[in-house]
Amino acid sequence: MEKMLKDMSLAYHRDPRPGKTEVIPTKPYESPSDLALAYSPGVAYPCLEIKEDEQKVWEYTNKGNLVAVISNGTAVLGLGNIGASASKPVMEGKALLFKIFAGLDCFDIEINEKDPSRFVEIVKSLAPTFGGINLEDIKAPECFEIERRLKESCDIPVMHDDQHGTAIISAAALLNASELQGKRLEDIRLVVNGAGAAAVACTKLYVALGIKRENVVMCDSKGVVRADRESLTPQKAEFATQRDIHTLADAMKDADLFLGLSVKDVVTPEMLRSMAPNPIVFALANPDPEIAYDIAMASRTDLIFATGRSDYPNQINNVLGFPYIFRGALDCGASSINEPMKLAAAHSIAQLTRLPVPDKIKNAYGIPAMSFGKDYILPKPMDPRLLESVSAAVAKAAIASGVSRRPITDWEAYAAHLRNIGSQCSDGVCYSQLLNSRETLERIANKLGYKLT
């Protein structure tokens, strides 16, 4: 199975032409007159308009629909520090997701620079091209400084998705799981295993939702992050505990919520059984969770269990958020992606989960009885309702929090605009075609001599 996956993936990326994206013109170009408008001499007129008023760049160029996905390849998926060039397939994939889910054009930019200061200067120099910047796969703790400095110096939304995307989606899952398990957020005792970028961002957002800081225990590879430990980073020090506990097993006793962003197989059935009644377990280590799904489900029957994998229920997947967060932010001219916008996205995703699921989504995933419950605490990635729901929620939060420079006033028209984008994504590659992509996969498999089951 592993060899088949490898062969099919390599063929998918290589044939019929290398890579996953291309640039497509949006204006006529068939005649000399078209070219005279597109380039010389006609192009001088929008240039002069922008020279007089820089804000007109949003009116005459693609800036308002263009996102950069930028990485230096120092923390790629579960692969680690593989370098800028080796990160490019992932960044191309992220660009593809922006396009097919939210209609946003995207350039992937791989920067061969590990020094944070130099990396920031390079990205700052590129910022005038884009309406937003999605930082990706940059290792901690450098990613904290890089994001902070770019947010301070750029007047467009900048978000490190490994931090905030994971935080937003898992926060939505937490809102629903706590409701189902009968737990109030202010009473939840949280154990976080892992103290990297995503873990810190998730914990901060959970606290913003209502979890009390004194009810948080964070663990890293050395054990519980305690206040008496020397040389703590500022990020770890924020969540250091005064409690007299030292190991993950100690921390798990009577915990209500486990968040894992660490490595596989560090949680045992005994640890799960030591948790409080009706526990919530988010085991998000990639690609294998902190405890295997079948082992966790056999350990106790009263838990809600989520992973980052698509082959188990309750996948916590960043694609539920980042395309629509940037869509809403760019559409209202937001200068940043702030805490109210993140919280609005989380609440919107959570609320959408509680609505009846369209039949086409059930059919696409082969789950005829899909509805809000312990095995469905988040929408499926192919749910087209996410575009309208999350984008609008983010835009409204941007406007209410004062970071929107082009406020939306007609929300019914905006909703219709988003529905039109959803049906026309990727120049005709719409959701119905995405949901019926098996024919493409079968062609690849047949060419390689495999048979799909």
**Catalytic (active-site) positions:** 39, 94
For the range 232-235, what are the long-range contacts, defined as Cβ-Cβ under 8 Å and sequence gap of 24 or more?
A: 233/141, 235/140, 235/141, 235/144, 235/195, 235/200
Q: Encoding tokens for residue 344? A: 């609005």
The strand pairing partners of 132, in sequence order, are 67
d(CA 77, CA 285): 10
- CA distance readout (Å), 189 to 110, 183, 276, 429: 40, 10, 9, 45
Q: Is the bond preceding residue 41 a cis peptide, omega within 30 degrees?
A: yes
Q: What values do phi and psi take at 258, rounded to 5? A: -115, 130
Q: Encoding tokens for residue 147? A: 């994001």
- Please name which of 240, 234, 141 lies closest in space to residue 196, comparing C-alpha atoms: 141
Is the distance from CB of 237 to CB of 371 less than 8 angstroms?
A: no
d(CA 412, CA 415): 5
**Residue with structure tokens 């950069």?**
68
Percent helix / strand / coil, the chain, rounded to 5 = 50, 10, 40
DSSP string, 289-354: -SS-HHHHHHH-SS-EEEES-TTSSSB--GGGTHHHHHHHHHHTTBS---HHHHHHHHHHHHHHHT
Opening angle at CA 446, ends 443 and 451, nearest 5: 115
The strand pairing partners of 373, in sequence order, are 376
**CA R_g for the chain:** 23
d(CA 419, CA 31): 33
Q: Encoding tokens for residue 14? A: 């290589």
